[in-house]
Amino acid sequence: MSTVLITGASSGIGLATARVLAEHKYNLIICGRREERLQALQAELAAKVAVDYRVFDVRNRQQVADVLGPVVANRAIDVLINNAGNAHGLAPVHEGDVDDWDAMIDGNVKGLLYVSKAIIPQMVERKAGHIINIGSIAGKEVYPNGNVYCASKHAVDALTNGMRLDLNPYGIKVSQISPGLVETEFSKVRFKGDETRAAGVYANMEALQAQDIAEIALFMLSRPAHVNVSDVIVLPTAQASSTLVNRG
Ligand code: NDP
Ligand code: 8X3
């Protein structure tokens, strides 16, 4: 069976994707910084498929290379799901925290690139592979105070398209999922642990759940060889755009 490497598998969309793919017999390499969560997920899924985990910070270029280098040397990665990422803060650009900007650009953009750099050459060599980048509605639109997060997701959108062009000669599929509001730990991270503020993001509407995104990833991966679902924008029914949400 295929082996899928998922970044950000310790929570939210990445965690749900690991669970759904394990149900469908994909072997997994689950990645993140919180080792105890990865260990627990490995224990949960190990009876179904082969599950390994790797602990690294996608922002740390050397760590990514040191951890993923031996992985790639020893086994074929059929699918890379570039999911790790977060928003940090929500502020007008003139009030933004530079540490938050660094975290978003370094994680969402440079981190995705570091991981891709470790995995893609092997796919090129084998002339096979599938990359799914987790973009966002924030990569298609810009909303007030979302400035740098939106810029980072616009970068993911551009990188997805760039990868598809560059990897076309090698038969590698490149896809993106661009969700609207998904109820995960995302807003808790964005608001630095403020659970009340985080809950407000999903109040009085039915947000997407991580499982909804996982099922789209499974659909993408289970298409025939000649079909590449290149991008899916998926919103809660209550959400019409980044800024228009029907809360009843
Ligand atoms: P969560 O906060 O629930 O999960 C984020 C995951 O990313 C965690 O597993 C976390 O693992 C990992 N991660 C974050 N930073 C790093 C880092 N520096 N190094 C390694 N791993 C990291 O949020 P979501 O599941 O919602 O987010 C997943 C992706 O989906 C992100 O790219 C996000 O931008 C995108 N997205 C989310 C939407 C939403 O509304 N929730 C909508 C559209 C897109 P750990 O902390 O263990 O390292
Ligand atoms: C996450 C969705 O609208 O909070 O990418 O930016 S949003």
CATH number reported for the structural domain that contains residue 65 in this entry: 3.40.50.720
The number of folded domains in the chain is: 1
In a domain, 224, yes or no: yes
Q: CA distances (Å), 204 to each of 208, 209, 216, 239, 245, in order? A: 13, 15, 25, 12, 10
**68 with 118: CB under 8 angstroms?**
yes
Instruction: Look at strands 173-179 and 182-183 and give their pairing.
Output: unpaired
pLDDT at 1 over 90: no
Instruction: Read off the pLDDT of residues 125-159 as tens digits, 9 standing for 90 and up.
Output: 999 999 999 999 999 999 999 999 999 999 999 99
Instruction: Count Cα atoms within 13 angstroms, Cβ side, for 29.
Output: 23
Q: Where are the beta strands (DSSP E) in the chain?
A: 3-6, 27-32, 51-55, 79-82, 130-134, 173-179, 182-183, 208-209, 231-234
Range of the domain at 147: 3-180+208-234
In a domain, 243, yes or no: no
Which of 186, 197, 202, 212 gets mutated to test ligand 2 (max ligand atoms within 8 A of its CB)?
A: 186
The mean pLDDT of the chain is: 98
Q: Give residue ranges with CB within 6 A of ligand 2.
A: 136-138, 146, 180-181, 242
pLDDT at residue 13, rounded to an integer: 99
Catalytic status, residue 149: yes
**Per the structure block, which two tokens stand in for 231?**
């991008």
Instruction: Read off the pLDDT of residues 33-55 as tens digits, 9 standing for 90 and up.
Output: 999 999 999 999 999 999 999 99
In a domain, 78, yes or no: yes
Q: In angstroms, what is the span from residue 169 Cα to ligand 1's centroid? A: 31
* Phi, psi values for residue 242, rounded to 5°: -55, -30
Q: In angstroms, what is the span from residue 229 Cα to ligand 1's centroid? A: 22
Instruction: Read off the pLDDT of residues 208-217 as tens digits, 9 standing for 90 and up.
Output: 999 999 999 9
In a domain, 162, yes or no: yes
Please, is 226 exposed, middle or buried when counting C-beta atoms within 10 Å of its C-beta (0-12, 13-18, 19+)? exposed
Among candidate residues 53, 114, 149, 202, the one labeled active-site is: 149
What mean pLDDT is predicted for residues 178-185? 98
In a domain, 188, yes or no: no
Query: What atom in ligand 1 is closest to the CA of residue 189?
Result: 2
**Full-prediction pTM beyond 0.85?**
yes
Q: Which of 49, 52, 26, 28 is nearest to 39 (CA)?
A: 52
In a domain, 95, yes or no: yes
In angstroms, rounded to a whole number, what is the distance separating the alpha carbons of residues 188 and 160?
A: 27
Q: Which residues contact 93 (CB under 8 A, 6 or more apart)?
A: 147, 148
In angstroms, rounded to a whole number, what is the distance separating the alpha carbons of residues 212 and 80?
A: 19
